[in-house]
Structure 1
């Protein structure tokens, strides 16, 4: 039994040593971990590993999910309280974003529209939020017009994933002629599988057999790539992966 305890300490120390090397920590941590396996592992856990874990994307997502489960209205409540106390544009935008995230796009739209009528009407975050709220309330034409204002004032935003994909989706909702080009542009700057899946959904509805074949290819690419995704990527892209798999089994 004593040997088992010693082996466990060494295994833990080796694990933290690998973490230290991969995250490019100071090399003195290796000396501490191997010279004092138990003490060094405890110190490393609290000094380096735990703070890094708390800042990881997976930890943030899990924390947000737990908060939403326990107190789903917390973000809206806090944002509304701040806005009631000090009705600044920043607080109004924060409240609008919280409402949109909480599935209340109509009220969010009202706040974004109010903010857009003031001196911050050309603010990029405001325009993007306004377009998201318009799209969520089925006003795809309004979303297109808002995004075109955004792109006119900030051309580089055409190359960012969220506004580029939202623009393509809004055009698709109208059946606009520029939908294909907008989706192609969104693919070039996509940060996840959403653009591929949504483009494939659109292509699958087109009358051209070549478009439907490309849709099948895009779905297959998502399923294939998912085999190599790390855990956080699989969680982030779960909806798109499930949609791609479902599309593959459809006739």
Structure 2
């Protein structure tokens, strides 16, 4: 394809992008009057900063950083905490410990933050509950979330709701877990939520309903998991469950 046509197509794309995203109309004139220079300016001034702020770009940069220097964020969190023991620095340190599987250390940092006016802070309690869930201490996690709800009745959190349902499931309180996952499916149907509902249908000896739940993970759009975890593990688990149920049914 001739270079001229490529440049023209790029210009059309940039103009359409500027209009659709509500950029200053001056950009349209710049792109029309100075195709090469205007397009380059638009990319540098408007698009590159936007891409740098995007979550996907942030995740990509973090992956590269984790490979080249896996302890960089951990050291930075430590240094910040040594200089100034703020609530945010304690939270950051706790998160870094949790990401490395140092759950007892993570809990210690949350405990240090849960003092005084922050003793019942919902963000801190939710963070503590997450650590306890990762550590498979389901009773402690449920107790922490119960405290969060008691002291913060107006607080709403999708992550907290999912964690609470997971605790109930792992504590084998299946009726209560079913109620929570059913509620979650109405407003937050993530792959994780659908998968656990499929498991509950199997426990209820309802293989057809279980199959429908597992298939919905693969065939329907799943809500975004605000915890940042991907759907891949649930997709793979659902495929395996579908195969097992299909063999049994047929």
Band of TM-score, shorter chain:
0.7 to 0.9
CA deviations over 1:61-105 (Å, ceiling 9, x no partner): 212222222222222211112222223333222211111122222
1:223 aligned residue (208, 218, 226): 218
How far residue 191 of structure 1 moved from its aligned partner, in angstroms, is: 6.7
Indicate conservation of the 8 Å contact 2:189/2:223, yes or no. no
Normalising by structure 2, we get a TM-score of: 0.85
RMSD of aligned Cα (Å): 2.4
Indicate conservation of the 8 Å contact 1:73/1:102, yes or no. no
Indicate conservation of the 8 Å contact 2:195/2:213, yes or no. yes
Q: Distance in 2 between matches of 1:57 and 1:83?
A: 25
Which piece of structure 1 moves more, 235-244 or 89-98? 235-244
Q: Quickly say closer, same or farther: Cα 1:47–1:240, change in 2 above 3 A.
A: same
Question: Where do 5+ consecutive residues of structure 1 fail to align?
Answer: none
Q: Distance in 1 between matches of 2:76 and 2:115?
A: 24
* Alignment correspondent of 1:131: 129
* Alignment correspondent of 2:27: 29
Normalising by structure 1, we get a TM-score of: 0.85
Question: Where do 5+ consecutive residues of structure 2 fail to align?
Answer: 246-250
Which piece of structure 1 moves more, 24-33 or 168-177? 24-33
Figure out how many residues of one structure are paired with residues of the other and give that number. 240
Q: Distance in 2 between matches of 1:24 and 1:240?
A: 38
* Alignment correspondent of 1:244: 238
* Alignment correspondent of 1:181: 179
Q: Quickly say closer, same or farther: Cα 1:100–1:189, change in 2 above 3 A.
A: farther
Which piece of structure 1 moves more, 19-28 or 170-179? 19-28
* Alignment correspondent of 2:248: none
Indicate conservation of the 8 Å contact 1:13/1:37, yes or no. yes
How far residue 171 of structure 1 moved from its aligned partner, in angstroms, is: 1.0
Three-state SS of the structure 2 residue aligned to 1:122 is coil
Q: Distance in 1 between matches of 2:83 and 2:74?
A: 14
Q: Distance in 1 between matches of 2:18 and 2:220?
A: 29
Q: Distance in 2 between matches of 1:246 and 1:11?
A: 45
CA deviations over 1:169-211 (Å, ceiling 9, x no partner): 011111124111121222234274222223323433x1x233x
Indicate conservation of the 8 Å contact 2:188/2:223, yes or no. no
Q: Distance in 2 between matches of 1:161 and 1:140?
A: 18
Indicate conservation of the 8 Å contact 1:161/1:191, yes or no. no
1:108 aligned residue (101, 106, 109): 106
Indicate conservation of the 8 Å contact 1:187/1:196, yes or no. yes
* Alignment correspondent of 1:213: 208
